Amino acid sequence: MDTFSHIVIGFGIGALAQIDPVVSENQTLSHAILIGTVIGSNAPDFDIIYRLKGKGSYFRHHRGLSHSLPALPLWAILVSGLLYTFIPGMDFLYLFLWTLLAVILHVLFDFFNVHGTQILLPFSRKWISFDAVPLIDPYILTLHFLGFGLLFFYQPGLTFLAIYLFIFLYLGVRAYLTAAARRHLYHHFMNAIGIKLIPRMTLLKWDVIIETDEDFLFGVYSEKSLAIEHTLSKKIDFPVLVSDSRMDQSISDFLACTTYAYPFVDVRKDGYFIYWKDLRFRTKKFFPYLAIQFISSDFKRKNSYIGKVHSLKHYKKVHRVLSNSTSSIK
């Protein structure tokens, strides 16, 4: 989920904490828990500090150790410990437990979307994602704002207990529908190597990637019907260049954050462009999240770029800078 959603959820958990009489009857503790849940709800994303070492470092580590099982109580201890330092004399255990809940829900919501997390680190580097909700879910946000409005009329704890019970029911339904859609697609594409569903904001509608031995099929699935929009061949014309591109640090960093990147080579007069496109994110035939390496025709210059290309104008600018620069662009 995005930062705004996590902040909203943090306030929601702070309101939910009022269901406990120990919290609701202690204004100081109540305020501290609200601060703790808002910060805790965003704490796993503090891995943005890796950005100080460069974009590649952030791509490699985001949603990694900071979102892992061992990190969850550590974030809660850190946040509640800092708050306790500034607001001594309150019940630390209550502050810690509610902050821990906020941290846990951050990771829970993250692996319900298409990005997923490496929650099993350091034991496994596997990315886990349920592909059940979009990155920004309007229904979850609407329920929270509905709850905030009801605070003027009803007890906060009970209000948000009902809100979160409904949200968890909603997550369960979306996860079930996604699993059912995947089973239906596998029934019709029995030779598929893999099928990835990318949930849209609209209920019962997914973007779909179907991988076969020869190509990738991209389409939209809704109401047990699949509309194929286009395909991409898996043929690689310059396998040596593609293999060598993996040795580039920026490319390696990009490939560490996705298992859905696939290489394509474009030959130009002045050299070669090797694209690693993240197939999960597309607009029609355009893939905005990618890694690009440029190799000059004399093989003396190698430059790279990783990140999001916002527009065709930006795309052309990246190409121009890569082919003219003597070092990688950031």
Q: Determine which of 107-111, 169-173, 273-277, 298-302 has the lowest per-residue pLDDT on average.
A: 298-302
pTM, full prediction: 0.89
- The mean pLDDT value for 177-194 works out to 92
pLDDT at residue 9, as a whole number: 97
| Residue 14, SS3 per DSSP | helix
The DSSP result for 235-278, as a single string, is --S-HHHHHHHTTSHHHHHHHHT-S-EEEEEEEETTEEEEEEEE
Mean pLDDT of the chain: 91
pLDDT at residue 167, as a whole number: 96
- The mean pLDDT value for 138-166 works out to 95
The DSSP result for 195-206, as a single string, is EEEEE-SSTTEE
Q: Is the pLDDT of residue 89 over 60?
A: yes
Q: What percent of the chain has pLDDT over 90?
A: 70
pLDDT at residue 90, as a whole number: 82
Tally of helices (H runs) and strands (E runs) in the chain = 11, 8
Rounded Cα gap, residues 271 and 72, in angstroms: 47
Fill in the amino acid letter for 10.
G
Buried b (16+ CB within 10 A) or exposed e, 93-119: ebbbbbbbbbbbbbbebbbbbbbbbbb
Rounded Cα gap, residues 192 and 179, in angstroms: 16
pLDDT tens for each residue of 58-87: 999 899 999 999 999 999 999 999 999 988
**Residue 208 contacts residue 200 (beta carbons within 8 Å):** no
pLDDT at residue 326, as a whole number: 61
pLDDT at residue 311, as a whole number: 85
Q: Which helix or strand (DSSP H or E) is residue 292 part of?
A: strand 289-296
- Residue 269 banded pLDDT, cuts 50, 70, 90: confident
